[in-house]
Structure 1
């Protein structure tokens, strides 16, 4: 590095060792004067400096940490970055020529003349150190590069890095040896490029790309002469000279030194140097977001929850390491470019709809998830919360900030009851086990079941007796079409009894419903056949699970594991084999088509066989301008949650209004209409500009009606909410009963 005079504080032994090394190098200087340069370096190589193949792997193929970028599905919208060290490597062709010239002028004027070790400069510096007690540098750019690699190698421990860069004669000789070996194998431009990509420029910026962005908000290819000179001046003392965190006047003084040095070497004229020195310091500081808590440019997009979901997915992928810790380190150091599945437009609509129902400070929440059928791509994850790592100490609620995954669940979040949306699983199990869409039952207001219950509103004579919320509209002879369309509790409880609740529970699991609650998981494993209330949606789920289950039906029975990733590429452009859809057929296509035919009834559309007769979410049809759609509403007991999940062949979206901190709090039945509207608007955004896709009608084998069915009355609107206090079982009764059975 260039000379920098400071008072000496070295011990006598240190000065003696330095003097001895100086003597050796002075001898080499004498040889350099007397011998041609090539002969000198040939002698040095043969006698002491070793061969390229002797270099540690860290120098031959350095593993410098780089930040990873996460982009939305368009490949250009930045979601965030992950890094321990703020660095991004760029080729020399993407670095302005004045930047290359400036760093050479500032740090190593003879860079293109020496063979990695500038013996004259080193001897001069060492002699000065010994004779006048000051400290001068003598390291070339190549030697500095070696030191930086050793200091930053992610595979070394802190102690190993310290030992590799400690100020000893032995370390200096090794550094010389490595530098000379590198120079004989790598071109000067390659060494310069590597140096510019690893040097520290202060203010957290490693490498010229990060520095250019940090100080000037631009790529290094666009740096001006004055800007390049300022950056080149920082590497000698990055923290002290940083115009952001250090001394701006010192930074300008160093800039002037670099410009004068550039003029002295002839790469610019004296007039150009003077003009650049006269320029005012103009900074455009740009910080890089790091992790899932910082939205780019301060824009509150709500992307934090999607980012968190992606990170959790990443930690499960063997391609990034053998352990979760290794995979996390790979994300923060590997320099990956990750194109995610997040659709910015769908996400923006989902976030707007979630916050239009409840603001950020409301203790109630509306988490919304959107999934693409046939691929499992997660298009959006929104909720009226700020994702923040500073939230949720012990006892703190999940609002307005939270690190808890309210959309996908996990980390202590079990999910929310989704009410009658679970009737889909009963219908699928029935269709798969020989029933048809025309399976009929004269549904009463209240239905005595075989399941014991000893107290509560939904009991009669020691049995569980669920009721219809709106008898005048729901009671009577029903088939799957109008039973589903009008959400008739007693019809589906009867149907589940006929098929077997264990088959219904298994169907839900097959479509991706995960039981995160310990009680739910226990019911599913040990008491599924007696879980009578399951069809009414008493198990906790999440919007993401629910949307993906309905997406399986939209994809005609093909279930795909949810994925947040389109592609992952390494810094050299290699695409890794991760993120591709993982799909399998879990339903016969005809069964899925039949369920879809009935699911068109709730949204105010007509089945392929003209059997729809009223629905609980008829506004969806007009909100989607008649585009083929299907879906289902859901309400839990005392309106503690209100849900809607809707789908087209191209997208499935689910939203559940709930209080994440208090499952007994009633969100109110009136909010269901707003949930329906919000989900429908997200669907509309997702399919905007897409070709209208039609559902395929099921075969008549699963319909069970004449070829030309009798005309049915025109669908009537739902006269009121689908649930009352009696519409769902009292879960406590079932818990007590099951506990008694286990006892």
Structure 2
């Protein structure tokens, strides 16, 4: 029997050609049908989107993000934040090199595709496949039209749905707008880094001139930014920007936009960058004020004009006062409030560029005797009068025995004298009398927002506070006991409409007017004859000094002519600063600032006249009261500790532990004889001239003969 051929062994249905023909035919028909439906759906989507697209003029005016312009009190623009927009540059005015550079590096087939480039997409898919596993997403597939669609209508979120919407919008835009219009939109809308949107903003930011003057090298730098604005920014990494610009020039040569000779002749390193604008102390204020917009308004899209309380003249005076008076190695901060709480000046440090940390609003430090404001307020509210007789005598409270800077006690004196010369034992006894919790409640009533301990030594300022809070408290005394709330924003406008207007609230009375008047009496005396004499400015001033242990912090708080100013100085690491006392550098900074700040304001007399304390009449016996206010050493909890003896109060340039040679201090002689430059008209008061003790040289007081040359006992 003959063997069957392979063909005869197959099933009959296999041998029927009609089956495969039908299968292939139906597959083709189904594919064409699905494709046709997809094309129809795409066309419907594209033309529906085209119909809903805004007009070209509307697209030109639509913002890329919220811009905020901040104005000073006189209308001067302090800073512009958020997106930065330059002038709109029409297509015909855009330099040809700029158009060629961006097309070459971002979308070389821009003139030929319909909004989506299949060849570019295939190339991007191939690259992604070759680099699979690297975690990198699909890149390089977006055309210029797609980037415009994403910039104007979509977010930067990367997913398949967003890419599909981007493609549809791009196809629709190509149906509605010309290539020139799309490129014009792109070059005026795309983000180039540093907050700059559009080529004009980028050109002004990086090169300091308008976009219509861009050279080939500059255009290459700008075009190279689009891929990674933060990485290739010439202000962030000049070398990376130069390398990227070189790539752009080479691509322009490859695509025929320029010749190879032109590409070789251009050196991106020759591009001159515009200097970065100097960030001055104004930014301390704007950094504090602007976050408040989230609470004050709901507008999050329209450009905002923010009008603030800042007085530029006062701000310059404040900046200068801190820079000139803060000791070497130490920082300084200043806040000045008008009578309604308007912040007229705010300095958070010597240099905003080197440190944006705002020591006026963020730092919490011990205030020393400046905190005695609350102790005496509680005593006055409890019924004490400024002329009440109190006794400076040894006292022990719960194991704590405060000491005076003089090293001894002086017996009977008035409350005014005790405050003027910052007698610690009297403050301690007052705190015990009214209750330390009452003192803490008074501090909270006046706006101290930080935790306050109720250990006995709290009356000497052992609780950390903020300078802004302390300034607010003193401003409330200046306003006769009515609460003052600091504010920095007066009004906000959007599209020409006022959407926020600040209203001053004067309804909260913290203490009775007579209590505030008596407190002002005490504060006047402290400046006129006590520890704050360096703060005199030739018109009525009320204030108080503060110094913490080992000269770590110096404070001066005071007010005059409706303006309240607080000054703090010290090191950020809380180490000692040689010679720092509240009555020295901080008081001098206060006087320097206030002299200029109130120069155009009328002189305002306080309700109470300055009354000299009784000890002022006998300087030869009690001159030590004129020393800067110091106090007992206490720890963070207010418990007594032993004085540190390793030269922490050393003068600048003096080695720790090294004693200074006794010498006559001419400035001290002037002050003690009434010839102080701060008050040259004061009648001389003669007394025995004494050489300051070694650890007090250069300060404003003297030490009694019996006092040993020992480390100074600083005030808390």
Q: Is the TM value for this pair above 0.5? A: yes
Structure 1 residue 106, shift from structure 2 partner? 6.2
Partner of residue 390 from structure 2, selected from 424, 427, 442: 442
Partner of residue 468 from structure 1, selected from 404, 420, 424: 404
Name the residue aligned to 1:426.
375
Which consecutive residues of structure 1, in runs of 5 or more, have no partner in the other structure?
1-19, 28-43, 110-117, 131-136, 262-276, 289-295, 322-329, 389-400, 459-465, 524-530, 605-613, 737-743
RMSD of aligned C-alpha atoms?
5.7
Matches of 1:246 and 1:552, distance apart in 2: 59
Matched, 1:485 2:476: no
Give me the TM-score of the superposition, normalised by structure 2.
0.62
Structure-2 change in CA distance of 1:581 and 1:715 (3 Å): farther
Superposed counterparts of 1:45-194, under 5 Å: 49-50=47-48, 54=52, 64-65=64-65, 68-69=68-69, 73=73, 75-76=75-76, 78=78, 82-83=81-82, 87-89=83-85, 92=88, 95=89, 99=93, 122=113, 145-150=148-153, 153-154=154-155, 158-160=157-159, 163-165=161-163, 172-177=167-172, 180=175
Name the residue aligned to 1:317.
295
Matches of 2:616 and 2:194, distance apart in 1: 72
Structure 1 residue 164, shift from structure 2 partner? 3.3
3-state SS of paired residue (1:562): coil
Name the residue aligned to 1:452.
398
Partner of residue 467 from structure 2, selected from 538, 543, 549: 543
Matches of 2:120 and 2:631, distance apart in 1: 88
The answer to whether the Cα contact below 8 Å between 2:340 and 2:485 also exists between their aligned partners in 1 is no
Higher relative contact order (CA 8 A, sep 6+): 1
Superposed counterparts of 1:608-627, under 5 Å: 614-621=529-536, 624=537, 626-627=538-539
Structure 1 residue 553, shift from structure 2 partner? 1.6
Give me the TM-score of the superposition, normalised by structure 1.
0.60
Structure 1 residue 493, shift from structure 2 partner? 3.4
Matched, 1:631 2:537: no
Name the residue aligned to 2:707.
none
Superposed counterparts of 1:142-291, under 5 Å: 145-150=148-153, 153-154=154-155, 158-160=157-159, 163-165=161-163, 172-177=167-172, 180=175, 195-200=186-191, 205-218=196-209, 223-224=212-213, 230=219, 234=223, 244-246=241-243, 283-286=271-274
Superposed counterparts of 1:514-525, under 5 Å: 514-516=449-451, 520=452, 523=454
Superposed counterparts of 1:583-732, under 5 Å: 584-587=507-510, 588-604=512-528, 614-621=529-536, 624=537, 626-662=538-574, 665=576, 667-668=578-579, 672-688=583-599, 690-697=600-607, 720-724=626-630, 726=632
Q: Which stretch of structure 1 is more off in the superposition, 551-560 or 61-70?
A: 61-70
Superposed counterparts of 1:574-585, under 5 Å: 574-577=497-500, 584-585=507-508
3-state SS of paired residue (1:596): helix
The answer to whether the Cα contact below 8 Å between 1:71 and 1:339 also exists between their aligned partners in 2 is yes
Structure-2 change in CA distance of 1:144 and 1:658 (3 Å): closer
Residue by residue over 1:637-689, the C-alpha shift from the partner in whole angstroms, topping out at 9 and shown as x without a partner, is 454433211211332222233344346x475466742221112212223223x
Matches of 1:204 and 1:474, distance apart in 2: 65
Matched, 1:406 2:402: no
Query: Larger C-alpha radius of gyration, 1 or 2?
Result: 2
Matches of 1:279 and 1:678, distance apart in 2: 51
3-state SS of paired residue (2:540): coil
Structure 1 residue 600, shift from structure 2 partner? 1.2
Matches of 2:304 and 2:349, distance apart in 1: 28
Name the residue aligned to 1:383.
349
Matches of 1:442 and 1:357, distance apart in 2: 36
Residue by residue over 1:3-58, the C-alpha shift from the partner in whole angstroms, topping out at 9 and shown as x without a partner, is xxxxxxxxxxxxxxxxx9xx99xx9xxxxxxxxxxxxxxxx99996126775699x
Matches of 2:638 and 2:266, distance apart in 1: 82
Structure 1 residue 447, shift from structure 2 partner? 3.8
Structure 1 residue 179, shift from structure 2 partner? 5.6
3-state SS of paired residue (2:413): strand
Which consecutive residues of structure 2, in runs of 5 or more, have no partner in the other structure?
1-31, 104-108, 122-139, 235-240, 259-264, 642-716
Residue by residue over 1:467-509, the C-alpha shift from the partner in whole angstroms, topping out at 9 and shown as x without a partner, is 43348896433043x3322223333334444444333222211
Equivalences, count: 566
Q: Which stretch of structure 1 is more off in the superposition, 579-588 or 548-557?
A: 579-588
3-state SS of paired residue (1:533): helix
Structure 1 residue 632, shift from structure 2 partner? 0.7
The answer to whether the Cα contact below 8 Å between 2:527 and 2:544 also exists between their aligned partners in 1 is yes
Structure-2 change in CA distance of 1:666 and 1:144 (3 Å): closer
3-state SS of paired residue (1:632): strand
